[in-house]
């Protein structure tokens, strides 16, 4: 029986992916904990802390498949943590070598390191999904670098842009996030090994050598000091996941708005039955975009929870650590879903360039008002040119006429520009600024 959208057989594929669920599953976690315990034994044998024979026996018999899951569940509920129950069963399988399991470690050492290994695997999946989405966006931006559409500010027509420019703006944020991902991995994927209070006192002079060997064994960074109660690393990772989710949510918001009946410039890929209504046969709702927006909103709350969990007392916290157990997997699941939905949407996005052009003409050329104003400004000054064109725009709104025709009725305008130039200035395709160069700059970056 499931109780949340993350494990619901109905909703789980809308709020996560199969691959990410596998990374953060119970099976994966138990396997990873055993992997850390075996790696610790090997590291300590390599540094001469425990006998080589003991480490070999632990590695040979440390098979997570042999662990009694029901017993683990019951004992974890009693102890409050899964590590002691896992060690107890592993030790039973290891014989005399079991006495060297978990040597010098504390529960949080193993749990943090196991979680860090899961996070590393999760970030690899995020990185791949992000790259896939960026590739699709790059192709879309290049294909529509010359597709003129309405730039909108405050939900109103502002200036003409190209659809490729809008897509390149989306892409630019994700490119920066890709850089941040690389930096976050380098800075925060650290081993945790400090013993009871973080000082490695039980290992004496061997403590730091064991920690370095354990880090090398697991492919994690060896930190300068124990980070039991400094949780900035996990918090930064979740904050980045949320930031990526927000950028993807912005894409979903734009696509949903451009897919509205009145706008009709975009449509998500057609799949029979997708986005259908139970009562309205004509409906084709932007389901993927809605999920991208929902994930962004949910991810924001994960950051808030992680920031709260950073307030940890002294050398071991009384409660905040437990918040991470819920937040980290859910954050990764949410972003994995968002990126998957976005990747599929952008790969098959239906773009109606004709409707974009028709929408440009809805206001009778008012979207080109700034172009005319700037052409008049050298002769009239910016303020007077603005007032002249502003008045013409007001008359166009009242009459439903065309801006070019209205301006050509004004002898002051035609004396300065001429009717042909006024009509050219009112062509949206002639006032795109540096958009083409910016699209090339972004799409050519990678």
Residues 23 and 76 in one domain: yes
- Residue indicated by tokens 């709260």: 308
pLDDT, tens digit (0-9, with 9 covering 90-100), for 272-314: 766 545 565 555 788 999 999 999 999 999 999 999 999 999 9
What domain range includes position 411?
366-425
- In the predicted structure, residue 386 carries a pLDDT above the cut 80: yes
Beta bridge partners of 350: 267
What's the rounded mean pLDDT across residues 399-409?
A: 90
Q: Is 259 a catalytic residue?
A: no
Contact 281, 372 (CB under 8 A): no
Q: Is 277 a catalytic residue?
A: yes
Residues 215 and 247 in one domain: no
Which residue blocks in 274-418 are alpha helix, DSSP H?
287-309, 320-347, 353-360, 369-380, 382-399, 403-408, 411-416
What's the rounded mean pLDDT across residues 121-125?
A: 98
- In the predicted structure, residue 57 carries a pLDDT above the cut 60: yes
Contact 90, 101 (CB under 8 A): yes
pLDDT, tens digit (0-9, with 9 covering 90-100), for 174-210: 999 999 999 999 999 999 999 999 999 999 999 999 9
Residues 98 and 57 in one domain: yes
How confident is the model at residue 277, as a pLDDT?
53
Q: What is the DSSP letter of 367?
A: G
How confident is the model at residue 283, as a pLDDT?
54
How confident is the model at residue 431, as a pLDDT?
94
How far, in Å, CA of 185 to CA of 240, rounded? 11
Q: Which residues have C-beta within 8 Å of that of residue 441, sequence separation ≥ 6? A: none
With respect to residue 285, please indicate whether it lies within any of the assigned structural domains.
yes
With respect to residue 430, please indicate whether it lies within any of the assigned structural domains.
no
Residues 10 and 101 in one domain: yes
How confident is the model at residue 213, as a pLDDT?
98
> Of 3, 154, 278, 434, which one is the catalytic site residue?
154
| DSSP per-residue string spanning 139-191 | HHHHHTTT-EEEEEETTEEEEEEEHHHHHHHHHHHHHHHHHHHHHHHHHH-B-
Per-residue buried b or exposed e for 230-248, using 16+ beta carbons within 10 Å of the residue's own CB:
ebebbbbbbbbbbbbbbbb
Lowest-pLDDT range, 35-49, 338-352, 405-419? 405-419
> Of 2, 202, 260, 277, which one is the catalytic site residue?
277
Residues 213 and 140 in one domain: no
CATH of the domain at 30: 1.10.275.10
How confident is the model at residue 274, as a pLDDT?
64
Residues 20 and 163 in one domain: no
How confident is the model at residue 284, as a pLDDT?
72
Whole-model pTM: value is 0.94
- In the predicted structure, residue 416 carries a pLDDT above the cut 80: yes
How far, in Å, CA of 357 to CA of 230, rounded? 54
Residues 53 and 184 in one domain: no
CATH of the domain at 405: 1.10.40.30
């Amino acid at each position: 029986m499931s109780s949340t959208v993350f494990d619901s057989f109905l909703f789980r594929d809308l709020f996560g992916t199969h691959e990410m669920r596998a990374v953060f599953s119970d099976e994966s976690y138990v396997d990873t904990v055993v992997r850390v315990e075996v790696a610790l034994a090997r590291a300590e044998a390599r540094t001469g802390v425990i006998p080589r024979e003991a480490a070999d026996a632990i590695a040979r018999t440390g098979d997570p498949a042999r662990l009694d899951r029901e017993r683990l569940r019951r004992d974890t509920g009693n102890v409050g943590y899964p590590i002691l129950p896992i060690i107890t069963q592993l030790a039973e399988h290891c014989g005399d070598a079991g006495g060297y399991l978990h040597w010098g470690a504390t529960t949080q050492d193993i749990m943090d390191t196991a979680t860090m290994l899961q996070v590393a695997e999760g970030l690899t999946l995020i990185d791949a999904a992000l790259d896939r989405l960026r590739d699709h966006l790059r192709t879309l931006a290049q294909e529509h670098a010359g597709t003129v559409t309405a730039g909108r500010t405050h939900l109103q027509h502002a200036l003409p842009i190209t659809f490729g420019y809008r897509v390149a703006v989306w892409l630019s944020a994700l490119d920066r996030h890709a850089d941040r991902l690389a930096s976050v991995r380098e800075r925060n994927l650290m081993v945790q090994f400090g013993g009871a209070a973080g000082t490695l006192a039980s290992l004496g002079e061997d403590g730091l050598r064991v920690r370095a060997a354990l880090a090398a064994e697991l492919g994690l960074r060896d930190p300068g000091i124990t980070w039991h109660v400094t949780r900035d690393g996990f918090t930064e990772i979740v904050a980045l996941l949320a930031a990526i989710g927000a950028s993807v949510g912005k894409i979903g918001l734009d696509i949903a708005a451009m897919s509205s009946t009145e706008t009709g410039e975009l449509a998500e890929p057609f799949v029979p039955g997708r986005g259908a209504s139970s009562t309205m046969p004509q409906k084709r709702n932007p389901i993927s975009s809605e999920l991208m927006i929902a994930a962004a909103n949910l991810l924001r709350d994960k950051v808030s929870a992680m920031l709260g969990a950073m307030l940890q007392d002294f050398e071991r916290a009384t409660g905040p650590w437990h918040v991470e157990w819920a937040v980290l997997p859910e954050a990764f699941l949410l972003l994995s879903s968002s990126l998957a939905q976005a990747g599929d949407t952008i790969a098959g996005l239906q773009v109606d360039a004709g409707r974009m052009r028709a929408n440009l003409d809805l206001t009778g050329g008012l979207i080109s008002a700034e172009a005319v104003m700037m052409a008049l400004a050298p002769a009239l000054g910016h303020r007077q040119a603005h007032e002249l064109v502003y008045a013409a725009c007001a008359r166009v709104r009242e009459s439903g006429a065309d801006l070019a025709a209205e301006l050509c009725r004004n002898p002051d305008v035609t004396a300065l520009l001429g009717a042909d130039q006024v009509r050219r200035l009112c062509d949206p395709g002639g006032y795109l600024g540096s958009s083409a160069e910016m699209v090339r700059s972004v799409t050519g970056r990678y």
